[in-house]
Amino acid sequence: MKGVDVGDQMASYYPTTRRSKVWYRKVFFFLYDTAIVNAWAVRRALGSEESLKAFRFGLASELLGQFREGTDSTSRAAPCPSTAAPRTRTHNVSQIPGKTRRCKVCSRHGRRKSTRSYCAECNVGLCIYGCFEEWHATL
């Protein structure tokens, strides 16, 4: 019983579970946390001195692998996916019918603002006045 209690305690330090009405999602994330703790315990038994937090971080980096290559680690999102392509396309303001999105520039400045306009080329929500120009000035 001691091993189970310690394992549950270690899994509760950095939980990945989120509130969900779907039962199998909770079961999946419980098993995912348990598998991470078990893998960390095996690694420690083999002589590693790595903490659980460092192990989880390294595991996440390994799982993301090629999906994170080519992105800048200091910014959360690239300014525009078409920056690598030649500038043959034009960026126009489009309207989202019936929906709103958060403005990407306002979010970076700490303001919470929803808008119905967006750049169809970049696929990000942007305010018409100022934010659209500021976002595309970084291209």
Q: Is the pLDDT of residue 17 over 80?
A: no
Q: What is the pLDDT of residues 51-83, one digit of tens each?
A: 988 998 888 888 887 676 555 544 455 555 554
Task: State the burial class of residue 107 (Cβ atoms within 10 Å of its Cβ: 0-12, 13-18, 19+).
Answer: middle
Position 43 scores a pLDDT of 92
Q: Is the pLDDT of residue 46 over 90?
A: yes
**Count of CB atoms situated within 10 Å of the CB of 37:** 22
Break the chain into its structural domains and give their ranges: 2-68, 81-137
SS3 sequence, the chain?
Answer: CHHHHHHHHHHHHCCCCCCCCCHHHHHHHHHHHHHHHHHHHHHHHCCCCCCHHHHHHHHHHHHHHHHHCCCCCCCCCCCCHHHCCCCCCCCCEEECCCCCEECHHHHHCCCCCEECEEECCCCEECCCCCHHHHHHHCC
Q: Is the pLDDT of residue 20 over 70?
A: yes
Position 81 scores a pLDDT of 52
Mean pLDDT of the chain: 77
Q: Is the pLDDT of residue 48 over 70?
A: yes
Q: What is the pLDDT of residues 92-139, one digit of tens each?
A: 777 877 788 888 888 888 888 888 888 878 888 888 778 888 887 765
Task: State the burial class of residue 11 (Cβ atoms within 10 Å of its Cβ: 0-12, 13-18, 19+).
Answer: buried
pTM over 0.75: no
